[in-house]
Amino acid sequence: MPAKRVIILEQLDTRTYRYALWADVPLARQTYYANPAASSEWKQATAADVAALASGAVVEHVDHFVVEAGTGLPAVRALLQTQWQGFQDRITSDNPWVRYGTFWDGATWTAGGVS
């Protein structure tokens, strides 16, 4: 599990926040998320954080959103928690590699896939 899940990177103006989300990647899919050159938008990421991103154990998503005027910090935090949960759910359930490596040899199909 990542040490952080939601990191507010900056408040661009009174209504716009830029943030990073960190999600756990299922073990069988970590190879596909691995990127030895990975880094984090969060400048205080530790060596262990960056290693988890590089290995594919954790994936980072950076985005921004605009809140309505007068939205307080508790509501911003709740919105970010909801964003994180949706991101984690997508990383856990969406599997574009479910058929990866399936091949046809000219006579027979052999199933591949990553769970």
Torsion of CA 65, 32, 49, 27, to 10 degrees: 110
Among the listed residues 83, 46, 79, the one whose alpha carbon sits nearest the alpha carbon of residue 61:
83
Supply the pTM of this predicted model.
0.89
Torsion of CA 80, 50, 114, 102, to 10 degrees: 120
CA 74 to CA 15: how far, in whole Å?
14
pLDDT of residue 2: 66
For residues 55-90, b (16+ Cβ closer than 10 Å) or e, as one string? bbbbbbeeeeeeeeeeeeeeebeebbeebbeebbee
CA 79 to CA 61: how far, in whole Å?
15
| 35-70 tens-digit pLDDT | 999 999 999 999 999 999 999 999 999 999 999 999
Amino acid at 56: G
Mean pLDDT of 23-28: 97
pLDDT classification of 3: cutoffs 50, 70, 90: confident
